[in-house]
Structures are given as structure tokens and as C-alpha cells.
Amino acid sequence: MYNFDVVPNRKGTNSIKWDRVSQFGGDHLLPMWIADMDFAVAPAIVEALHKKADQAVFGYTFLSDDYYNAVIHWMKTRHNFDVAKEEIVYIPGVVPALDFAVQAFCQPGDDVLVEVPVYGPFYSMIKKNGCNIIETPLKNDNEYYTFDFEDLERKITDKTKIFMLCSPHNPSGRVWKREELEQLAAICEKHNLLVVSDEIHNDLIVEGEHIVFATLNEWTAAHTITCTAPTKTFNLASVLVSNIIIKDEELRKQFKDRMAAAHTSSASCFVEPILVAAYNEGAAWLDELMVYVKGNRDYLCDFIAKNIPEITVQPMEGTYLAWLNCEKLGMHGDELKAFIAQKCGLAMNNGSFFGEKWDGYCRMNLACTRETVKKGCELLLEGIKTLRK
């Protein structure tokens, strides 16, 4: 049994979430932004780090079979995803992987199709490489988001090379159902699009089942760049480790050639012990954690439904990030952000990070104690009450 009600004090630890909260307008704000957790990591990870530190030499290292076997075991046992060692490409982060994927598989001027709203760097990685972002807005039924397949297919042209998928979806919290992914796959196959599937939230499932896009059928296996990482799952964002799984040999070569040009393929000596401890010994911690996160989600949704009719939220199915529609407050972008900070005392990501049209939304990080969630809810309500007078 892990106690998620007690967390380390992160103030004064160079934590972006806690020590850079002043950018929202004050050090006193309750930080419920940026996607990392307030919880201590699984004890096995700390033990593995101590053991590594005791070696007292941190020279150049390589990733051994222990590393690859841990990834293979995790993908098989948690996701029923059969992966071979040579299909795993280590890279320090998923965002760099999105960047390299666009560089490797597109020419400047090509189109990349993306479901929106979506995690901000999707936009920037496409733009930075001279490609066009073609947006296919998700359908929104009272904050329950689904693909608009007609719109999606209509937007594909000869210039469209990649469909960039976020699964589970940040920020809506949707865990895409098999039927939805199959319909998407059929369209991508028909138009011969490569699918870059960012599955960094794959282990953070509150309800439903994460389906690895590459496991749908033979075509998706051969045409998907699957981006995975233990970082969101085990609260390891600063460790800089992700694994890109590319089954097709030619695609893998193209991707690795781009990486080689940027010299990004060597890992810190701390990466292997951390990943191995997380994947081999962290499953029980994760299972308990997700029960706790579900409790946080249920508390938030219940509180909003009962007390704040101005905000609409759907229970997220995956991730630990709640997507709050605040449009009824009549504020957007910086104005909404300032209201949330100044009147509510909260730091939350503004929806504009996920697409301009969503600047009337906020994203709340629920990977924190129940006490913090309760406090966040109260603060939100107090701030909103000032508008009711």
C-alpha cells in the first residue's frame, strides 16, 4: 500500500511546477499546471538510483539488454504489444521524437494532419520544420470528444504525409476505443499516411483500455511510429527517456539517420537503472496510483457538477489532466489565466496551449493529493463567486 496523501515538499527543488509558479502572477498560487506529479516515485526507483550513485563513476555508458528486456516485458504485459529489441529506439524525449519524425518523413511544404485541440508541441514541431499543420477539430459533445472522420478524410490531399495522433488524448483525456482507432487506421491506409502515434499517456488509464495503434493490424504495425516513455507513467519527466518503437526497418533507418545527424542517441547512466526499476518493479505502484487519480477525478467532477455550473468537465478516461470548459465565464487567453491566478489563486495551463480556439478552457493537473484537489476546487469556486455578485 502506498500513501499518496503524503507528498514531498517540492518548493526549493528547482521544480518548474512549484518554483516557477510566479510566472502566473505570484509565488503563493496553488500549482495545478504542467504535467508532472507531486507524488514520490515508486521506492524501487529510488533504491536503483542509490545503487547507481554508489558506483561513484558516471562515465560513458550504453543501454544493455536489461534495458531492452524491461521495455519488451512492459509493452507485452501491459499493452499486449510484441516488440523486438531492434525495433526500440531510445531518445531523450517524445517531443524530440515528434520533431525527428517530421524531419525524417516530410519535406518542407508537406501537410501534417492533426486532431485538435492537442498538446502544444504538436503544432510547433510541425511548423518549425516548414510543414503545414492541417487541423481536424474533434467533435465535442458536451466535452466528450470524438473524431470527425468526414472532416478528417476531406482534409487529406497529395501533400499530406503524416497523421499525428495523441493517444490517450491530451487535453481531452479520451482513451480512444478500438472501433475509433480502426476507422482512423482505415482512412490512413486508404491515403497511405504514416501515423506518428504519441502514446506517452498509455499507462495512465482511469477507465477503458489503451489500444496501441500499431497493434490494430499488419498495416498499422508497418506504418506507425509509436512514441512511448516511462516518464509520465512513473513521474520521471526530468530523467529524459523515451522509447520510439518502429517495426518497419526502412522507416526505422530513416528515423535513426535523422537522430544520428543530431547526436541525440546516448543516454545518461541513470536512465537504465531507473527505467528497469520502473518497468520491472513499478506495476503495483502504478495500479494504486491510478485508483487514487480516479478518486481525484471523481471528486473534481462531482464538485463542479454540484457547485460550479459555469464550468463543464467530463470525467477524463486517461491521463491525469482534467479539461475544463470555462467559456461561460466570458474570458479568454491571458484574461482567463489572470482571473484564475488573481481571483482564484490557482496556476493552470490555459487552453490556448492546445489550440487558439480553446483559449476559454483551462487544464487542471490532478496528479496531486486529494487535499490539493479539494483546495483547488474551493479556490476555483471562491474566485467564480466574485463574478456572480
Ligand X SMILES: Cc1ncc(COP(=O)(O)O)c(C=O)c1O
Residue 92: what are its φ and ψ, rounded to 5°?
-65, -20
Q: Using the minimum distance from each CB to ligand X, give the nearer residue, 303 or 354.
A: 354
> Which residues, 6+ apart, have CB-to-CB distance to 293 below 8 Å?
204, 206, 320, 366, 367
Q: Using the minimum distance from each CB to ligand X, give the nearer residue, 308 or 316.
A: 316
The answer to whether 147 and 138 are in contact (CB under 8 A) is yes
Q: Which stretch binds ligand X (CB under 6 A): 90-98, 180-188, 247-255, 345-353?
A: 90-98
Closest CA to 228 of 211, 213, 247, 244: 244
The reply to whether 229 sits near ligand X by the rule CB under 6 A is: yes
The reply to whether 237 sits near ligand X by the rule CB under 6 A is: yes
The reply to whether 35 sits near ligand X by the rule CB under 6 A is: yes
The answer to whether 192 and 225 are in contact (CB under 8 A) is no
- Considering the complex, what minimum distance in angstroms separates the CB of residue 170 from ligand X? 4
Q: Using the minimum distance from each CB to ligand X, give the nearer residue, 303 or 361.
A: 361
Three-state secondary structure call for residue 30: strand
Pairwise CA distance, residues 308 & 329, whole Å: 11
The answer to whether 267 and 58 are in contact (CB under 8 A) is no
Which residues lie across from 145 on neighbouring strands? 140
The reply to whether 198 sits near ligand X by the rule CB under 6 A is: yes
The reply to whether 231 sits near ligand X by the rule CB under 6 A is: yes
The answer to whether 33 and 321 are in contact (CB under 8 A) is no
Closest CA to 208 of 80, 367, 316: 316
Question: Which residue's beta carbon is nearest to the bound ligand X?
Answer: 93
- Considering the complex, what minimum distance in angstroms separates the CB of residue 94 from ligand X? 4
Q: Which stretch binds ligand X (CB under 6 A): 18-26, 65-73, 88-96, 209-217?
A: 88-96
Which of residues 103, 136, 170, 226 is near ligand X by CB under 6 A?
170
- Considering the complex, what minimum distance in angstroms separates the CB of residue 231 from ligand X? 5
Pairwise CA distance, residues 132 & 113, whole Å: 8
The reply to whether 125 sits near ligand X by the rule CB under 6 A is: no
Residues 137 to 166 in contact with ligand X, rule: CB under 6 A: 166
Q: Please report, as ranges, the residues that interact with ligand X according to CB under 6 A.
A: 35, 93-95, 119, 166, 170, 198, 200, 229, 231, 237, 242
